[in-house]
Structure 1
Amino acid sequence: MTTVLERSGAAPINTSPTQLDAMVIGAGVAGLYQLHRMREMGLKVRAYDTASGVGGTWYWNRYPGARFDSQAEIYQYWFSESLYKTWKPSERFPAQAETEQWLNFVADKLDLKKDIQFNTRIVSAHYQEDSGRWLVTTEAGERIDTQYLLACCGMLSAPLVDRFPGQSSFRGPITHTGLWPKEGIDLKGKRVAVVGTGATGIQVIQTIAREVGSLKVFTRVPQYVVPMKNPKYSKADWEQWGNRFHELKQHVRTTFSGFNFDFENKPWVELTPAERTDIMEKYWNDGSLAMWLATFPEMFFDEAVNAVVSEFVRGKMRERLRHDPRLCQILIPGPKDYGFGTHRVPLENGYLEVYLQDNVEPIDCRKTAIERIVPEGIQTSDGTVHEVDVIILAVGFDAGSGALSRIDIRGRGGRSLKDQWSQEIRTTMGLQVHGYPNLFTTGAPLAPSAALCNMTTCLQQQVDWISECIAYARRNGKHTIEATQRWRITGCSTTTRPPPPRWW
């Protein structure tokens, strides 16, 4: 078996702890900005990352077809007009390599890399009550003593790797999409299995289908999908966006989801059925997440409204599948599954049409679940062994809590964050956890940056709040910042999801 299922790193061992004012975990979108803000404030700060370079999600997720679903003009840093105007994206939805290049461009322009230690895995962080500081340890044994611990670990940094019995027995390459090797994997003419049809799986499937010899797609949860329109951007196009920098900067901070579109249509009840259809057609043809986040807010709260929107999308998908009954049953969510928009909606480019190819076969895991991995391939519950040469695991991440739970984080009284969250996850807006003073988090559980947000908008807001909170404490001679128990309880009780539960 050839496998790429681990992340490792090493750093020199030091005998005495490195003394810092602030330590940042992660060098992705949030980590780079957090490092920049701390340096601007004059703090002695250093960032640490398991990877060998900056990028976070965009460093690791280099699988075929990887790209983001936010338009390039808003997937941006807003603290620098110069950075915005200087970097010129090549298309509306740039691919992974270009996004990684952009983050390297930002890091180089701000000279951030000199304060980042790469190839370093954090294994523990213990709060020292006598000093009010955090003692952090790396996998190599290096120790860091810091007042503020700023965990910008990312929502997609803890891949779910060991999903099926027998993975180590497979005799070909097997890899998680979040750990795709830099050198790539030769798929040409091979028998390939993709497990999972979330946003990542969809991108992989539509990209490799014409290259592989045969493709078996193991799907359990069908997805509502929206076609992506991805025009190229010229220099003139970007100059136009650059001229709107200040307008966009203000606007994305006020919209429902941090995008540059919002729910601006008349209320559902004031529209005729024909007007509702016209609105859905308009946003469907936009080729972005506007179909999800700019049509009708009522679909998140009113089951009848959601049913109409969901059926509109199902109809579009049935047409593209040529009304093939088997494909429609496997690939399109039914009325009893879940409603459109209650999961993050994948954008795609020719994904459904892939299943019309003779070399592509979907396997419905709701009927025949994956039982185990065997040397020849994948065995399902009906006893069938699907023989393949390569297995691609697009099975997702332990999102939100996973990255932090994989570090031995201990707060007051030695309490364990992992143990605490295994019982119940509560945070203060995803920014702090009661009992863990001076620990700040971005993209964490119960943060507003969950599935509904343009991540650069939400992450920058969180970094700004953290930075301003620390600045306030320092101005006022405060050494410790900690969320109260009262806020931990009341904050969660007033930020629940809308009913009914089965939608979500």
Structure 2
Amino acid sequence: MSIPNPGRAEAGLAADGRTVADVGAGVGADAAVDTDVVVIGAGFAGLYGVHRFRQDGLSVRGFERGSGVGGTWFWNRYPGARCDIESIYYSYSFSDELQQDWTWTHRYATQPELLAYLNHVADRFDLRRSFSFDTSVTSAVFDDDTQTWVVGTDRGETVRCRFVVMATGPLSTPVDPQIPGLAEFGGQVLRTSDWPADVDLAGKRVAIVGTGSSCIQSAPIIADQAEHLYVVQRTPQFSIPAWNRAYDEDEIARIKAGYPRMREDAWATVGGILYEQPDHDPLTADPQQREAWLERTWARGGYLMIASYPNVVFDEEVNALVGEFVKTKLRARIRDEDVAGRLMPTYPFAAKRLCVDTDYFEIYNRDDVTLVDLRESGIDHVEAAGIVRDDGSRIDLDVIVLATGFHALTGAILAMDLRGRGGVRIQDKWSGSASNYLGFALAGFPNLFMVNGPGSVGVLYNMIPAAEQHIDFAADTIAYLDAHGLASVEPTEDAEKSWSAHVNEVAEQSVYPKANTWYMGDNVLGKPREFLAYAGGGPAYFRHFAQEAADGYPGFVLRERSS
């Protein structure tokens, strides 16, 4: 979704009259580069990035650590892996031909269907030829003398480029729990983030550690396969039934005919998904009216329960009303009152990422599924035979599944040797806070763009249109630089500080800081505690980009090429 760049009256001047001449050396017009743009990652963002940059006439190299395209959906192949955003929204909007050509089978697509879709996109737009697979980018160092990036890979290749696009995914770097003795376990240790193809759980005693989305999706299927399943829970979760179903031919025909309007209307919503909104204030409405509406939102199902009322994450009283309604619904799914009590969340509704499930809570009605609540007794250590808890009790196991989450939004970037102007390391820049501008660019790191980075709306919005918007803004910005003979773009320090303050200010008005979550960086030891997303909604967020373009990038420093 491209944002127009209107151009300046005079090249070399910012809209507010600032000079854009670099204090140091600029890049010459004949500076040698191997490619214009390096794109890191071949998921939704990376594939679209390669397509858009090539459409603009730029040369592009893509790098992907996996052996194929797919990003998240290449790696997350655990049983039951499924998108928690409806398929028709969680898909590209840049090509109507693609929309008409591809037919989704279910309301919520499974991992195999999503991976098939991304492979279809790669083939349809001939994107594979621009990627080097089985290749990790290990370093990206800005060369101050030539104003270019030098990108290194684990295969020993070095590529010099003008721009780097971090399409690395906000949830792509898994966190391994520091459980004493895990290496001594005599059985099999599996990770939902890297599930092998030949797993046979039949007749085995399995423990799954962690109760986020990966557990909630996989546990019902693992329970059907294993002899006994132990769900090791630290924090209970809110989860809403998906009510998944197959699309019929008439529904698909209506969807395809209405795609243009649907995309336009969805873009203008807070979360990037169309939904019916209430016609009443929950605090003043008749209780029967409110209850009837909440029943409708429950029947709608899925992540959209967070949109039951517009202010559900900003008004604690509204939040409590919705949270109690949901917990009543969850309790009704569990026969044992004691187990139900241990499965009830104690934090504000949706302060942790809202999960979407199919028959998750119902597994606790089975005799071959046991809830292990770490709040009652933690894990002391793992030994060859299984888990030993703090109270001395033992759980004999054949398989331990780690569903322990991700180093969200910053992990993949911090894992690289990434250095900006003057050799400044990203690890040093982000030692106290993941400061940046718009969740998109970094002061001191010219011509480097993040997609759905920390401080962006991405993980609170539909990430596919959000990724398209970031890529389009990056492409439009590159076109602007080239049209005006400019070498580089990076945020000002003031713009970066202002954006970080704004992100925190909005978050502090919400319930998000009231829970320990990956949103806040709480799941990674030593990570600064701060809200890592923009909670102000899509329309407000995207207006910042539109205003930057319309005003001539006042939040950025633009530098000229040297002669």
Is the TM-score greater than 0.5? yes
Aligned: 1:145 with 2:160: yes
The equivalent residue for 1:435 is: 444
Contact (CA 8 Å) 2:45, 2:467: kept in 1 or not?
yes
Alignment of 1:159-170 (within 5 A): 159-170=174-185
How far off its partner does 1:138 sit?
0.5
Aligned: 1:116 with 2:131: yes
Counterparts of 1:42 and 1:268 in 2: how far apart (Å)? 52
Alignment of 1:227-306 (within 5 A): 227-261=241-275, 263-293=277-307, 295-306=308-319
Counterparts of 2:317 and 2:301 in 1: how far apart (Å)? 25
Match for residue 468 of structure 1 among 463, 467, 476: 476
Flag structure 1 segments of 5+ consecutive residues without an equivalent: 1-16
Counterparts of 1:133 and 1:167 in 2: how far apart (Å)? 44
Alignment of 1:314-393 (within 5 A): 314-322=327-335, 324-333=336-345, 337-393=346-402
The equivalent residue for 1:59 is: 74
How far off its partner does 1:464 sit?
1.4
Match for residue 308 of structure 1 among 307, 310, 321: 321
How far off its partner does 1:267 sit?
3.0
Match for residue 220 of structure 2 among 199, 206, 209: 206
Relative distance call for 1:264 and 1:429 in structure 2 (3 A) is farther
How far off its partner does 1:236 sit?
3.2
Counterparts of 2:129 and 2:446 in 1: how far apart (Å)? 28
The percent identity for this pair of structures is 36
How far off its partner does 1:419 sit?
2.5
The equivalent residue for 1:13 is: none
Counterparts of 2:135 and 2:366 in 1: how far apart (Å)? 44
Query: After superposition, what is the alpha-carbon deviation per residue over 1:384-428, rounded to whole angstroms, capped at 9, x for unaligned?
Result: 221110111000010100000000101111111122223211111
How far off its partner does 1:186 sit?
0.6
How far off its partner does 1:373 sit?
2.2
What SS does structure 2 have at the residue aligned with 1:423?
coil
Aligned: 1:68 with 2:77: no
Look up the equivalent residue of 1:98 and give its one-letter code: E
The equivalent residue for 2:26 is: none
Contact (CA 8 Å) 1:37, 1:467: kept in 2 or not?
yes
How far off its partner does 1:351 sit?
0.7
The equivalent residue for 1:411 is: 420
Match for residue 96 of structure 2 among 56, 67, 81: 81
Counterparts of 2:340 and 2:495 in 1: how far apart (Å)? 46
Aligned: 1:175 with 2:183: no
Counterparts of 1:467 and 1:380 in 2: how far apart (Å)? 53
Look up the equivalent residue of 2:311 and give its one-letter code: E
What SS does structure 2 have at the residue aligned with 1:134?
strand
Contact (CA 8 Å) 2:364, 2:371: kept in 1 or not?
yes
Contact (CA 8 Å) 2:33, 2:162: kept in 1 or not?
no
What SS does structure 1 have at the residue aligned with 2:34?
strand
How far off its partner does 1:162 sit?
4.8
Counterparts of 1:116 and 1:261 in 2: how far apart (Å)? 37
Counterparts of 1:172 and 1:342 in 2: how far apart (Å)? 36
How far off its partner does 1:287 sit?
2.2
How far off its partner does 1:264 sit?
4.7
Contact (CA 8 Å) 2:348, 2:514: kept in 1 or not?
no
Counterparts of 1:404 and 1:187 in 2: how far apart (Å)? 35
- Runs (4+) off by over 4 Å: none
Counterparts of 1:118 and 1:130 in 2: how far apart (Å)? 30
Relative distance call for 1:162 and 1:271 in structure 2 (3 A) is closer
Contact (CA 8 Å) 1:252, 1:457: kept in 2 or not?
no
What SS does structure 1 have at the residue aligned with 2:37?
strand
Counterparts of 1:327 and 1:425 in 2: how far apart (Å)? 39
Contact (CA 8 Å) 1:91, 1:231: kept in 2 or not?
yes
Contact (CA 8 Å) 2:205, 2:227: kept in 1 or not?
yes
53-62 or 373-382, larger mean C-alpha shift: 373-382
The equivalent residue for 1:482 is: 490
Counterparts of 2:137 and 2:347 in 1: how far apart (Å)? 38
Aligned: 1:502 with 2:514: yes
Query: After superposition, what is the alpha-carbon deviation per residue over 1:302-352, rounded to whole angstroms, capped at 9, x for unaligned?
Result: 211111111101111111112x2321222111xxx2111222211111111
What SS does structure 1 have at the residue aligned with 2:487?
coil
Query: After superposition, what is the alpha-carbon deviation per residue over 1:157-177, rounded to whole angstroms, capped at 9, x for unaligned?
Result: 101125322222112211210
The equivalent residue for 1:456 is: 464
Relative distance call for 1:80 and 1:210 in structure 2 (3 A) is same
How far off its partner does 1:263 sit?
4.1
How far off its partner does 1:234 sit?
2.9
Look up the equivalent residue of 1:100 and give its one-letter code: L
47-56 or 374-383, larger mean C-alpha shift: 374-383
What SS does structure 2 have at the residue aligned with 1:300?
coil
